[in-house]
A and B are shown apart, each in its own frame.
Chain A
Amino acid sequence: MSIREGDSNLRSNMGEEELLKDVVITSRLDESISFFEKVLNWSRKYSLFQYPFATACCAMEYMTTMGPRYDLGRFGAEVPRFSPRQSDLLWVVGTISHKLAPVLVRVYEQMCEPKWVISYGVCASSGGFYNNYATVQGIDSIIPVDVYIPGCPPRPEQVLDALILLQEKIDRSKAEWRFSKKYDNK
């Protein structure tokens, strides 16, 4: 199954104070999600415009996930917009080689905020079993990633689960009003 961000701490090793840190007391205004932001998140998560940056074998499973049997369109992510300027979800599907890495960074930078990245398959998440001179060992060393999907290639059900995870993440997010770059060092 897909990895949730935030699951990295082993909860069994933590003391009680540590556990309480994750419980959020939302009486402070700048930490709560207002009603307007809730509406915004609802509209964003159910109308994701995707940009499939498809390279390798995972593209075959991606085509099937978009196809009639495992329909990705039921979750709102129907339309593949083949231009980064018109899309907000970047699917990096397949192995990224070092020759292709500058192109990927450029495509990511051309997308407008708010934007999310799903790394589809082990080759995009960590390099897969291609530990050689030509393959980027995980695209999170060049662009920030929101959801990782393991599998070589992942089954369509895994992909649907990842999309639902991303929708839950969008639900929890606060709207960024002022600045455009989410990360300091891209």
Chain B
Amino acid sequence: MTISEDEVKKVRERFESDIISSYQDKDMVVFILKKEALLRFVQFIKEDPDIKMEQVTDITAVDWYQKRDVRFEVVYHFYSYTKNHRIRVKVPVEEQDPKVPSITGLFSGANWFERECWDMYGIVFVNHPDLRRILLYPEFVGHPLRKDYPIDKRQPLVKLIKPEERRERP
């Protein structure tokens, strides 16, 4: 279920300076990358015959508000059907410049996942074909899954009336 040691070594040799760290986490190998190297890395793991990632399983982000220096972390999970192994790739993104290159050119299934990331966290995916809100409405202001967005701050589209103020005609 996890890629083997030689493959990890191969990846580390190829992307010397761009990998911040890599470790084995339970049954998956995790790579922490710099965001400039993301596209080359994803292309490599897609085309390399030993690793051969075929599907983007999930793209999401984690908000380490006031717990780490770099606020956001975009997390990718990939899966290979022929080799039956998974890999996790993490890209730290700072708050002042939340831009990450989009991988929709390599995996078209990343489209909606990246839109959801933009909707919930405000992370801009450069070169995405259609970056607009997916789970919320366009009039919504803010990005709700950030830790500093209060959970019950509602932005209604329709005028809300208290039921006791609704006057019935005599």
Contact = CB atoms under 8 A, between A and B. Distances in A.
Interface string A127-170: 00001111010101110110000000000000000000000000
Interface stretch (A21-29, A67-75, A80-88, A178-186): A178-186
B54 to A, nearest CB: 34
Given A132-B151, A141-B163, A184 B169 contact: yes
Contacts of A60: none
A21 B118 CA distance: 59
Contacts of A79: none
B158 A102 contact: yes
Given A99-B136, A132-B151, A132-B152, A185 B158 contact: no
A157 B153 CA distance: 36
Contacts of A140: 163
A105 interface: yes
Given A131-B152, A132-B151, A133-B144, A144 B166 contact: yes
Given A99-B137, A133-B151, A142-B161, A182 B169 contact: yes
Interface in B138-170: 144, 149-158, 160-163, 165-169
A88 to B, nearest CB: 19
Interface of B: 136-137, 144, 149-158, 160-163, 165-169
Contacts of A182: 168-169
- State the majority secondary structure of interface residues on B: loop
Given A101-B157, A105-B158, A141-B161, A185 B137 contact: no
11 contacts: A98-B156, A101-B158, A132-B152, A141-B162, A144-B163, A179-B169, A181-B169, A183-B166, A184-B166, A185-B167, A186-B161
Interface in A87-120: 98-99, 101-102, 105
The 9 closest A-B pairs by CB, nearest first: A141-B160, A140-B163, A101-B158, A99-B137, A184-B167, A132-B151, A142-B158, A183-B166, A102-B157
